[in-house]
Amino acid sequence: MTSFKLSLPALLVASAVAITGCNATSKQQETQSAQQVTVKDAKAFLANTETELMALYNEVSRAEWIYANFITHDTSSLSAAANEKMTAAVVRLANEASKFDKLELDEDSRRKLDKLKLALTLPAPQDPAKTAELSKIVAELGGLYGKGKYCKEDGKCLSLGDMTATMATSRDYDELLDIWTGWREVAKPMRPLYEQQVELTNQGANELGYADTGAMWRSKYDMPADDFAKELDRIWGQVKPLYNSLHCHVRAKLGEKYGEDKVPQDKPIPAHLLGNMWAQTWGNIYDVVAPANADPGYDVTELLAKHNYDELKMVRGAEKFFTSMGFAPLPETFYERSLFTKPQDRDVQCHASAWNLDSKDDLRIKMCIQRTGEEFSVIHHELGHNFYQRAYNTQPIYYQESANDGFHEAIGDTIALSVTPGYLKEIGLLDEVPDESKDIGLLMKMAMDKIAFIPFGLLVDQWRWKVFSGEVTPENYNQAWWELREKYQGVASPVARTEEHFDPGAKYHVPGNTPYTRYFLAHILQFEFHRALCEIAGSKESIHRCSVYNSKEAGERLDAMLKMGSSRPWQEALASVTGKPEMDATAILDYFAPLQKYLDEQNKGRQCGW
């Protein structure tokens, strides 16, 4: 999954903890203040706040860019200082925004104030001592994960990166089990800290008017919090039959590989056998399940080499995709200031990301590009973020973000879905498009990542919301986690787990307090956008073969949506492209229809489900 830099609102959401106590007034002062404020005061506050936030955003963006590209002790300190300054300002402004809650305001002003309040991820209580306690807990949780290693009895210590690589490549049952259990020891000490954090942040959410922190997170989605949770389950219900078919086939192949004594064919799949530390994507074990004769007949990496594509030519080629749809070219500063290759003389963050440093047109990507087919798709994905960032740069700072937090990733992935064999032929990389019978392997490989991920993308926050609401208590944190893993994924722990363990903490986003539903949404929306754009482009191809390259009609419709930013409810943004305000996962079923047919044939006579 590719990270990216949005404008200010996303940076605010990424703040570790909303320290509501640091500038808090007493409740009596707040009440007096709320009685005295006027509509004029609210509008003046929003105008002044936008100016302050814009200046802070520019400062933080540059500090973070320098740190990401020149990793030293000093650049780390400068980045941390800039972020601390911005976080403190956002906390102060979000609390000030609350004093206008009782005013009757126009829709736009109310939306901006809500955006500011909802920028907080972990709202702390008004009590300064509790604020300090929460800040300490957040830092401790982050440190436990970041420094986490698995040290074996022989004294050899493995980093998460080491273990991730082994999980991807090893097919040794016992080695995988050892690493899987070893990494989860890191999370055990997180348990009491997490319990305290939930209690404190719920108190902060209550003070801001929300039932609990989970309800606050769900309130960001332009609909009642409980309705949003039901909507997610409805969409999952649409995808579940395809997921179940994939699960059945993968389990059967793993049974052939490891023996049905280790992989029973009527039970959940042991979580350590799916090629990923969290069993969230399964693409690394594609070799175990690859269909016969699945070779598509070409290799994009080899094609890039054959046609002399270096890193810069790959980027310019991806840019041409967007200009073919009618988007204006990227500014020359994009090529002057981006990082395309790993420098030999210094440490940099190589994880691919897209940036807009000034909320206008200082667009950049940061990648250590490898000359591979996979990276060629990633570049298209990253530029999708950049063109989104530029499209909404005329909006007020409050709206310089995607329609909801799933849209940004979805747009990048939508563009990557158009990197099809037909597209490769059109740009001169491929001589002939293979017969459609060759598509099963490509679809299987994609499903092993995208379809396999969908239930995991849903359950991480399902668990957290239940914890925040009190439905899941500290006495059954781990039990509830594995119940959800089994319910949604059909995946089980390979060994007994107890409440001594804290397996949710072994996934970065839990101790890192990063909301996860955005990734579920992105996986649904990208296929919906792709199908709609293909229809707008008048494509006669199967949806999985369609590319919207060269379609000015699709580009015009997409651009109109991107320009909205988050100025309107996401349902309106969605309808502007798809014609409907509701999310619809049937596009996924359309896309993978040939694979579904293949899986149905393979699964005949098998006992599916768990």
The catalytic residue among 381, 408, 501, 530 is 381
Sole residue written with tokens 């709609």: 532
Task: Let me know if 519 is a catalytic residue.
Answer: yes
Percent of the chain whose pLDDT exceeds 70: 94
CB-based contacts of 145-148 (< 8 A; 24+ apart in sequence):
145/186, 145/187, 145/190, 145/505, 145/508, 145/511, 145/512, 148/183, 148/186
Q: Which pLDDT score is estimated for 124?
A: 83
Q: What mean pLDDT comes out for the span 487-509?
A: 96
Q: What mean pLDDT comes out for the span 47-61?
A: 93
Q: What mean pLDDT comes out for the span 246-265?
A: 97
| Residue 185 vs residues 43, 383, 446, 492, 605: alpha-carbon distances, Å | 51, 39, 32, 17, 40
Task: Let me know if 385 is a catalytic residue.
Answer: yes
83 versus 599: the higher-pLDDT residue is: 599
The catalytic residue among 249, 272, 380, 385 is 385
The catalytic residue among 258, 483, 509, 593 is 509
Of 191-195, 380-384, 589-593, the poorest mean pLDDT is in: 380-384
Q: Which pLDDT score is estimated for 95?
A: 83
Q: Which pLDDT score is estimated for 2?
A: 44
Task: Let me know if 399 is a catalytic residue.
Answer: no
Q: What mean pLDDT comes out for the span 9-38?
A: 48
Q: What would the pLDDT profile of 385-417 be if each residue is shown by its tens digit? A: 999 999 999 999 999 999 999 999 899 899 999
User: Which pLDDT band, with edges at 50, 70 and 90, does 30 fall under?
Assistant: very low
240 versus 91: the higher-pLDDT residue is: 240
Question: SS in 3 state form for 318-339?
Answer: HHHHHHHCCCCCCCHHHHHHCE
Among 33-47, 72-86, 158-172, the range with the most confident prediction by mean pLDDT is 158-172
**Res. 295: pLDDT tops 60:** yes
| Residue 49 vs residues 54, 261, 401, 463: alpha-carbon distances, Å | 8, 63, 17, 35
**Res. 17: pLDDT tops 70:** no
Judge whether 278 and 509 are in contact, CB under 8 Å.
no
Q: What mean pLDDT comes out for the span 273-290?
A: 95
Nearest to 501 by CA among 519, 484, 482, 523: 482
Of 297-306, 313-322, 464-473, the poorest mean pLDDT is in: 297-306
17 versus 180: the higher-pLDDT residue is: 180
DSSP string computed for 505-546: GGSTTTTTT---HHHHHHHHHHHHHHHHHHHHTT--S-GGG-
Task: Let me know if 302 is a catalytic residue.
Answer: no
Of 64-78, 239-253, 310-324, 516-530, the poorest mean pLDDT is in: 64-78
Q: Which pLDDT score is estimated for 35?
A: 60
**Res. 23: pLDDT tops 50:** no
Q: What would the pLDDT profile of 145-162 be if each residue is shown by its tens digit? A: 888 999 998 889 999 989
If you compute the radius of gyration of the chain from its CA atoms, what whole number of angstroms results? 24
Q: How many CA atoms lie within 13 A of 533 on its CB side?
A: 30
Report which DSSP code applies to 438.
G
Judge whether 154 and 28 are in contact, CB under 8 Å.
no
The catalytic residue among 352, 354, 506, 537 is 352
Nearest to 131 by CA among 14, 214, 213, 18: 18
| Residue 547 vs residues 259, 419, 538: alpha-carbon distances, Å | 42, 7, 11
What is the distance between the alpha carbons of residues 80 and 88, in angstroms, rounded to a whole number?
12
Phi and psi (nearest 5°) for 354? -115, 140
Q: How high is the mean pLDDT of the chain?
A: 91
Q: Which pLDDT score is estimated for 20?
A: 43
Task: Let me know if 351 is a catalytic residue.
Answer: yes
Report which DSSP code applies to 158.
E
Which helix or strand (DSSP H or E) is residue 282 part of?
A: none
172 versus 123: the higher-pLDDT residue is: 172
Q: What mean pLDDT comes out for the span 485-506?
A: 97
The catalytic residue among 351, 499, 556, 582 is 351
Q: Which pLDDT score is estimated for 10?
A: 45
Q: Which pLDDT score is estimated for 181?
A: 97
Sole residue written with tokens 């259990």: 181
**Res. 32: pLDDT tops 50:** no
Q: What mean pLDDT comes out for the span 314-338?
A: 96
Sole residue written with tokens 């349902």: 571
What is the distance between the alpha carbons of residues 65 and 365, in angstroms, rounded to a whole number?
10
Q: Which pLDDT score is estimated for 363?
A: 96
What is the distance between the alpha carbons of residues 522 and 385, in angstroms, rounded to a whole number?
13
Percent of the chain whose pLDDT exceeds 90: 74
How many other C-beta atoms are found inside a 10 Å radius of the C-beta of residue 150? Answer: 20
The catalytic residue among 64, 375, 409, 528 is 409
Q: Judging by DSSP bridges, how do beta strands 363-366 and 353-356 pair with one another?
A: antiparallel
Domain ranges of the chain: 8-121, 138-196+225-295+445-514
The catalytic residue among 194, 210, 392, 519 is 519
Nearest to 112 by CA among 527, 594, 566: 566
What is the distance between the alpha carbons of residues 411 and 526, in angstroms, rounded to a whole number?
6
What is the distance between the alpha carbons of residues 529 and 525, in angstroms, rounded to a whole number?
6
What single-letter amino acid sits at 20? Answer: T
The catalytic residue among 319, 382, 401, 528 is 382
DSSP string computed for 159-214: EHHHHHHHHHH---HHHHHHHHHHHHGGGTTHHHHHHHHHHHHHHHHHHTT-SSHH
Q: What mean pLDDT comes out for the span 240-261?
A: 98
Judge whether 97 and 45 are in contact, CB under 8 Å.
yes
97 versus 295: the higher-pLDDT residue is: 97
Judge whether 511 and 190 are in contact, CB under 8 Å.
yes
**Res. 13: pLDDT tops 70:** no
Task: Let me know if 509 is a catalytic residue.
Answer: yes
Nearest to 495 by CA among 125, 186, 174: 174
How many other C-beta atoms are found inside a 10 Å radius of the C-beta of residue 575? Answer: 15
**Res. 83: pLDDT tops 90:** no
Q: What mean pLDDT comes out for the span 165-173?
A: 95
**Res. 123: pLDDT tops 90:** no
**Res. 533: pLDDT tops 70:** yes
3-class state of residue 62 by DSSP: helix
Task: Let me know if 409 is a catalytic residue.
Answer: yes
Q: How many CA atoms lie within 13 A of 380 on its CB side?
A: 25
